[in-house]
Amino acid sequence: MYRWIRFSGTGAELAWRVKNGGKPVPLKTVKTLPDGSELVMLHESDGMRARRRKDAGGPRAERLPDALARLVTFTVTATARSGRAKTTRMRVLTTLLDHAAFPAAEIAVLYAERWQIEIAFLHLKKTVRGPRRPLRGQSPDLARQEAWALLLIHNITAAAAARAAGSAGIDPGLIPFTAVLGLVRSHVAAGAPCRHCGHRSDSPLASLNAAILALPRHRQGRQRTSGRTAAERRTRRTEEVTYTIEVTKSNLPEWDASPKT
């Protein structure tokens, strides 16, 4: 709750997944909205304040102010081609209070986009750096320098793919990152001057955009599922899957706005 108040206070709009239990974030329903989402009140209990005082070393810390937020509770049912189905219940807490401008169904779908950051981490750690390849720096400063270099390479590659996709009016997600990285490396190498005569070829980067657009693209709308643990991956194959999202009501208690005595 402290982080929620702190980050939302900067003016940022938040959409955070919270656990289904009531302990991580103390929520109570103020009003159920027409789209199935709920306006909720965050209220710090005496026990939470005592724990925060102990963790922060501030025995006189004041109680956090009550905060109004919006809760979107939904289920995601994943049905594999083999017929196996699994339903997961999720809750997303957001500062976007206007249900007409930001419908609950769109917020539920938006949550899936957080997987993009996981894909970026995968590209950074395995595609750019290389699998099982440690950083070469033997000191914190050198390791930090190398990490920044890897981030720079990743951003250059992603920007090149996004620029090419924008010029063609397609989704950047359809362009394979690994293939673009190979093209960037080859074009940069081709643009290096000859070490003997100093001659440089004529702007090899000018053809990079066309080369990216000529790559085979990912299948649009493709959805797959596979085992999450090593044991599951040994026995389960990756399957095509369809997802069904349904906004539901939570089982939170009602917020009592009457003054406490």
- The predicted structure's pLDDT at residue 8: 92
In angstroms, the CA 123 to CA 115 distance is 13
Report yes or no on 221 lying in a domain: no
Q: For residue 16, what are the domain limits?
A: 2-114+243-248
Report yes or no on 254 lying in a domain: no
| Cα-based angle 160, 165, 171 (whole degrees, multiple of 5) | 125
In angstroms, the CA 64 to CA 42 distance is 9
- The predicted structure's pLDDT at residue 165: 93
For 163, how many CA atoms within 13 A lie in the half-sphere containing its CB?
Answer: 15
pLDDT, tens digit (0-9, with 9 covering 90-100), for 113-166: 888 888 888 898 889 988 778 888 889 999 999 999 999 999 999 999 999 999
Report yes or no on 229 lying in a domain: no
In angstroms, the CA 202 to CA 191 distance is 8
Indicate whether 22 and 45 sit together in one domain. Answer: yes
Report yes or no on 163 lying in a domain: yes
Residue type, 45: S
Indicate whether 130 and 182 sit together in one domain. Answer: yes
Give the torsion through C-alpha atoms of 113, 117, 118, 121, to 10 deg: 160
SS3 242: strand
Report yes or no on 186 lying in a domain: yes
Report yes or no on 235 lying in a domain: no
Kindly tell me if the per-residue pLDDT of 81 is higher than 90: no
SS3 79: strand
Domain count, the chain: 2
Report yes or no on 232 lying in a domain: no
In angstroms, the CA 89 to CA 183 distance is 42
DSSP assignment letter at 69: E
pLDDT, tens digit (0-9, with 9 covering 90-100), for 199-228: 665 555 668 888 999 998 887 777 777 777
Q: What is the mean pLDDT of the chain?
A: 86
- The predicted structure's pLDDT at residue 39: 96
pTM of the entire structure?
A: 0.73
8 A C-beta contact, residue 30 and residue 66: no
Structure confidence at residue 31 as a pLDDT band (50, 70, 90): very high
In angstroms, the CA 184 to CA 162 distance is 13
pLDDT, tens digit (0-9, with 9 covering 90-100), for 34-73: 999 999 999 888 888 888 888 878 888 888 888 999 999 9
Indicate whether 86 and 164 sit together in one domain. Answer: no
Kindly tell me if the per-residue pLDDT of 2 is higher than 90: no
